[in-house]
Structures are given as structure tokens and as C-alpha cells.
Amino acid sequence: MKILQSIRSRLLLWYGFTFSVVLGGLGLFLYYELETIVIGAVDNHLHSEVQLIANLLKKDMDLELSEVGSGDYSVPLSGHYYQVTLDGRVVARSPSLSLVDAYLPIPTPTFEPLYSTDTGPGRERIRVLTQSFQVGKEVFTIQASESMEDSYVILNSFRRFLLVLFPSLILAMGVIIWTISGHGLRRLIHLSRRIEGISERNLGERLDEEGFDRELRPLVRGFNTMLSRLEEAFEKQKEFFSNASHTLRTPISIIRSYCDVILSRKRRRNEEYREALLQISKVASEMARRVDQILDLSRLDSSDFLKSSNVDLLAVAQDVVRLLTPFALEKGVTINLDGKRVKVEGNEERLLEALTNIVDNSIKYNRRGGSVDIRVDSRDGWAILTIADTGKGIERKDRVFERFYREDADDRGSGLGLSIAKAIIDRHGGRIEVTSKPGRGSRFTIFLPSSPSIEG
């Protein structure tokens, strides 16, 4: 229901329901208490009358009951009656009965007071007390009654009063609650309007917590935190696209320049066509590799696509050495691998990619005759893999994992290899650290949670 989608309406319904239950229960309680008091007063009066008649019987065995035969007892069918029976026979009755030759139902003798509500001879509602007494050797049963008409008039009037008062109170409280809730929700409406006014153009704007009620401040604080994260994400996105366009602009410019040079000549030899196409193919392959790297980063950031298995980290390092040995020989660099078998839970293909990127950098920026030392070890539940090289070192270790970062402006690399490696390690619940001395080399240390089973 649409009405239940409103906080204000739900508050009104809940308060209305609560007040209805509370006031309804209170009304029933008050009515029951009043009924108890009214009927209790009648019962007390009847008890006094029965005791009076019993005392007169004990004093006067001739049943002269003129002392209680006046007032309402003398009015025919007044509802105020008394009747005395002995062995199932009526031996005395009030004038209100005898004048019209009426009787109360003859009861069964009982020495315990027995109260009941019945219909009298005049079809009126009466309250009757029946009790037996031992007088000498005889057992007399005395009945006394009193009309309940006046009592029921009081109870009915009180019931009508409650039926008018309580719905009026519920309606009045509903109006009050609707007004108060509307006033209380004004701040929330103001907050929603402020939020609606924030877009990608003014993400730097923040809501002032002091301008809102204490209950709304955690919401404002959380919204400001979300804005900060969104602003940071937008800035990273802008930087990412800027860097991506910049890194792709160079190979595109090279392709265009080759095409322009070849097309500008009137006479072109087949060798020139071939050389130009080879260069274009080489640059296009580099572009494709960079696009693949950008897509890898995007997938690592946005989804969980890593299929885990029990991976031997030493075996992964051996595969990296086999893959990069030709490149190392070409650069005049020696690769050394040492360590023990350590199992980690992860994606073997992605771990191979991460290690390949790091070792590839260590070879690329190494000196001729240098070395790359790889060691696999474990300690305190962590698999530890170190890659140390004798290259030129890194000036800005704090930026080495930033996307598209290159220390050398003339470097033709994409600046994404180490970023991808760090993203993969992070997704495996590990971390990567780097230490470096310019001119003396760098050391990358990778920490990954090891599996429970570790082979030496």
C-alpha cells in the first residue's frame, strides 16, 4: 500500500493503533471497576437486609416482619423484595410481592451467601441474595432482592461516555501526532533537498552537521563520507582516462606519422611499404597490450573473477623464470631462483601475471651483467617471495605502484605492470613492499597468506 510508504503515515498508524489498544484496555478496566463497585454496593445492602431479617426471626418466631415491610418493600413489583421459606413453603414475603400475589423462585437451602442476577416478577432485572439460617430446630431460607435498573442506567451512561470520549481522544491525538511528525520531518525533507542539489559538478560540497538535529547527524556524516569517496573515485577516474588517453596517444601518433611519411612520397618502394607496415604492426601490438592491461585493471577493480585453488608458489616462480629467461639473456641479466615449496590459496594464472610483471621490470631496468634473485620462503603463516635486482633503483618508491607512473619520461612502457601486480596481490589478501637504493637496485617483497599444508 502506498500509504505505508510514508514515514509520517506509518507513525500515525502505529500511534493510532497503540492509543486504541491502550485506551480500549483502560476503558474496559474502568467499566469493570465501576461495575464491581456498583454491584458490590448492592450486595452489601442485600447482606444487611438479610442479616436484619434473620435477627428478627431469631427474636420473634411469629414472623412479625413489619419493621422491614416499609419503603420500597411496600411498593408492588418495585424490584425490592424479601421472601422467607421453610421446608419449601413460603412463610413470609414483602408487601411488594404479597400485594400482587407474586413469589420469588423457591431456592435450595444454602448456609453460604449466594448472589445471583435474575429477572423479577415484574420482568425487571434484580440482584438476589439467598442464605439459610438455623433458628431453633428449623432452617429458614431468606431471599432479599434489589432492583438493578438504576445501577444499569449508571453503567450504560458511563459506557456511552467512554464510547464518545475515547474515539475523540484518539482523533485528537492523531491530529497532534500528524502535526508533530510533520514538524519533526521537516529537517529530513530539508536534508533530502540538499542531497538532491548535489551532482557530479559539485561533489566537493559538504553538508554541515551542526545544521541538523542530533538524530540526523550520523546520516549527514555518513553522506559526507560517501561524497568524499565518490569525489575520490571520480578524480581517480578522470586521472585514469587522462593517463589512458595519454599512453595511447603516442603509439597512435607514431602510426599516423609513418602513414603520412609514406603517403607523402610520390614514389614508394616495396621495402618502404614493408618497413612501414612492420612498424605499424609493432606499435599496434603494443597498443593492444596496453588496452589489455587497462581492461585487466578494470576487471580487478570491479568484480571478483579470481578462481582459487591450492597453488605452489615455487612452481609459479619457476614458470616465470622459464618465460623470461630469453628476455634476460638478451639483456645480459642472470636470473637466480631459490627457496622451498610453499602453498597459497589463489589463482595461479593471476599470480603468474603479477610475478611476471615484477620480474620483467627487474630485467628491463637492470644493467648488463646484472642479476635478478628470486627466493620463496614462509614465516608465521605467510608465504614470502622476494625479487631483488641490481638495476638502477627507484627514486619515488611511494609512487611506483601508481597507474601510468613512469620515472623516466622517455620510457616507452605503459606504467601499468606494477599497478596490475599490486592489484592482484591485494585481491589475494596479501601485500607488496619495495625497498630501493638509486644506482644499487631494488627489492620487492610479496606477502601472501599460506595454506595450512606447507611442503618443504
The pLDDT assigned to 334 comes to: 92
The pLDDT assigned to 303 comes to: 47
Do the strands 371-379 and 334-339 form a parallel or antiparallel pair, or are they unpaired?
Answer: parallel
Q: What is the DSSP letter of 333?
A: -
> What does the pLDDT average to over 104-127?
91
Ranges of each domain in the chain: 7-154, 215-301, 304-449
> What does the pLDDT average to over 419-423?
83
Terminal CA-to-CA distance of the chain, rounded, Å? 66
> What does the pLDDT average to over 118-132?
91
Q: Tens digits of per-residue pLDDT, 260-274?
A: 666 666 666 667 667
Question: How does residue 39 score in pLDDT terms, banded at 50, 70 and 90?
Answer: very high
189 vs 156, more confident: 156
Fold of 7-154: Beta-Lactamase (3.30.450)
| Separation CA 79–CA 261 (nearest Å) | 128
Question: How does residue 456 score in pLDDT terms, banded at 50, 70 and 90?
Answer: very low
Q: Tens digits of per-residue pLDDT, 146-156?
A: 999 888 899 99
Question: How does residue 114 score in pLDDT terms, banded at 50, 70 and 90?
Answer: very high
The class of domain 215-301 in CATH terms is mainly alpha
Query: If you average pLDDT over every residue of the chain, what do you get?
Result: 80
| Separation CA 118–CA 147 (nearest Å) | 10
Q: Tens digits of per-residue pLDDT, 371-394?
A: 999 999 998 889 999 999 998 877
The pLDDT assigned to 240 comes to: 60
Burial letters 241-256, b for 16+ CB under 10 A, else e: eebbeebbeebeebbe
> What does the pLDDT average to over 89-100?
89
Residue 383 CB partners (closer than 8 Å, separation 6+): 313, 342, 343, 344, 376, 377, 447, 448, 449, 450
Residue 335 has pLDDT above 80, yes or no: yes
- Phi/psi for 443 (5° steps) reads -135, 120
Q: Report the DSSP beta bridge partners of residue 86.
A: 89, 140
The pLDDT assigned to 446 comes to: 93
C-alpha cell at 341: 615449496
Burial letters 409-418, b for 16+ CB under 10 A, else e: eeeebbbbbb
Question: How does residue 56 score in pLDDT terms, banded at 50, 70 and 90?
Answer: confident
Q: Does the model's pTM come out above 0.75?
A: no
The pLDDT assigned to 409 comes to: 47
Question: How does residue 437 score in pLDDT terms, banded at 50, 70 and 90?
Answer: confident
Question: How does residue 129 score in pLDDT terms, banded at 50, 70 and 90?
Answer: very high
| Separation CA 107–CA 371 (nearest Å) | 121
- How many Cα atoms occupy the beta-carbon half-sphere of 61 within 13 Å? 6
Fold of 304-449: Heat Shock Protein 90 (3.30.565)
Angle between helices 270-302 and 417-427 (to 10 degrees): 30
Q: Tens digits of per-residue pLDDT, 391-409?
A: 887 776 556 777 655 555 4
